[in-house]
Every structure is written in structure tokens, then in C-alpha cells.
Amino acid sequence: MRIILLGPPGAGKGTQAKILAEKLNLPHISTGDILRQNVKEATALGLQARAFMDRGDLVPDELVAKMLMHRFEQPDIKEGFILDGYPRNLVQAKTLDGILQKKNMGVDLVVYLDTSEPVIIQRLTGRLVCSKCGANFHIKNMPPKRDAVCDYCGDRLYQRSDDKEETVRKRLEVYRKETASLIQYYQEMQKLHRLSADEDAEVVLKSIIGLAAGIQDDPFKE
């Protein structure tokens, strides 16, 4: 099953994608995570991407396309994937169509996680991320059991530099300008399903599972 999670920053794409990927035994492909890993390792891509990310801007399409093509060469995507953070604009949507077409694949489901601005700001400015496994927590909504320590792998939690309120507002502006048009793109392809992502993560997850189950016969059976 090939699923795209679409929505503004703070919609919970990463949180949902991580759980779905485990449940469906599919790879979670997050372009943001891959870019952050490159920044951390100071690769050529990381060095080029860093300034864009720190400002809350999109990293140039060609750089991200190359990175994605490389990821799609891995054999684990054969059974499907949960894509989070890509595409971010129409050029990227068409790049993805091209990559999939070459592999005789298509997208099965695009879930648009519709989220209101106050919820986005509250979620992102309180978000904590694990520096090792990438798990997300929230200082109020989903606090870790131990202060600043990941419940899953015990590594250190940190605040993403682009989760400061000013940068969050910039990322939202970029989302409205560039990414929101994808809602119509996937609507016209009859792939889009809209959910309110202001709800708690478990409620949203249940709805996504319901949608996926409707697309394919019981993809959640053990």
C-alpha cells in the first residue's frame, strides 16, 4: 500500500506515519528526517540544505528529488511506503508521479490532515524530538516519562531549531503558498481523503486506518 500524508507542519504527519509504518510493516519515508540526518552528518546535501531549513523555507526541488530518487532505489519500497513531507509543491508531485510511473506504481491513498492554526502553533512550539530514533513528544500533550529522555530508545530529546514560533509562522506561510495547492491536485486524481487532525493522535490514527482498510482488503491483519 502506498500512502501519502499531506498537511501543514504540525498536522501530526510524522507521528501518524511512524505508527502506520509499524502497523503495516512498510517503510516510513520522511524527507524532513532524511534532510535532518544529512545536516547532522554534515554531508554535501546537508550543508546545502541547512540554511533553507533553518529559515523555514523549502530546500530546492532538485536536491530533494535526487535524494528521493535515491531512497526509492532501496528494495524495501516494493510492498509500499508511507510518505511524509513529500511532495511539498506541484513540481514535486509531478516528480513523484514520474518516479512511480517508471516503477509501474501509483499512489493508493492521500490523506490530508486538516489542522487549524492555533493547534499547529501549540503543537510545534511544544514539540520535542528524539535525536536518535526521531520519535516525537510534546511537553504538555504527550510528555516523555523522564524529562528530555526518549521513552523508546533512551536518547536525548531536543527542540527542532525550526520549531521556534517565528520559524513556524514562516513554514506555515510556505505551506499556504506552495503545498496547499496539492489538495486540489490529489482531489482531481480522486486519491484525496480529508480528516480533521485537530483531534487527538489516537482518533486520527483510527480514521486513517479506516480509510486504508477501505482501499485494500484488511491491510492490518497480522
- Distance between CA atoms of residues 172 and 8, nearest Å: 7
Residues present in the chain in total: 222
181-192 b/e (C-beta count within 10 Å ≥ 16 → b): ebbebbeeeebb
Concerning whether 18 is annotated as a catalytic residue, the answer is: no
SS3 at position 124 = helix
Say whether residue 127 binds ligand AMP (CB under 6 A). no
CB-wise, 10 or 219, nearer to ligand AMP? 10
- Amino acid 28 reads H
Tell me phi and psi for residue 9, to 5 degrees. -60, 140
Q: Which of 171, 186, 191, 204 binds ligand AMP (CB under 6 A)?
A: 171
Q: Which of 16, 109, 120, 162 binds ligand AMP (CB under 6 A)?
A: 162
Query: Total number of residues binding ligand AMP (CB under 6 A)?
Result: 17
CB-wise, 74 or 216, nearer to ligand AMP? 74
Which of these is catalytic: 2, 18, 71, 127? 127
Query: Phi/psi zone of residue 134: left (φ > 0), alpha (ψ -120 to 50 degrees), beta?
Result: left
CB-wise, 39 or 219, nearer to ligand AMP? 39
- Distance between CA atoms of residues 132 and 50, nearest Å: 19
- Distance between CA atoms of residues 6 and 114, nearest Å: 9
Say whether residue 163 binds ligand AMP (CB under 6 A). no
Say whether residue 86 binds ligand AMP (CB under 6 A). yes
CB-wise, 6 or 26, nearer to ligand AMP? 6
- Report the run of H or E that residue 194 belongs to, with start and end: strand 192-196
Strand order in the sheet with 157-158: 136-138, 127-130, 157-158
Concerning whether 169 is annotated as a catalytic residue, the answer is: no
First to last CA, the chain: 15
- Distance between CA atoms of residues 87 and 64, nearest Å: 10
Say whether residue 9 binds ligand AMP (CB under 6 A). yes
CB-wise, 21 or 219, nearer to ligand AMP? 21
Residue nearest ligand AMP, CB atom distance: 32
Which of these is catalytic: 160, 164, 169, 170? 160
Concerning whether 160 is annotated as a catalytic residue, the answer is: yes
Say whether residue 88 binds ligand AMP (CB under 6 A). yes
Contacts to ligand AMP from residues 17-76, by CB under 6 A: 31-32, 35, 52-53, 56-59, 64
Catalytic residues: 13, 88, 127, 160, 171
Residues within the interface to ligand AMP (CB under 6 A): 9, 31-32, 35, 52-53, 56-59, 64, 85-86, 88, 92, 162, 171
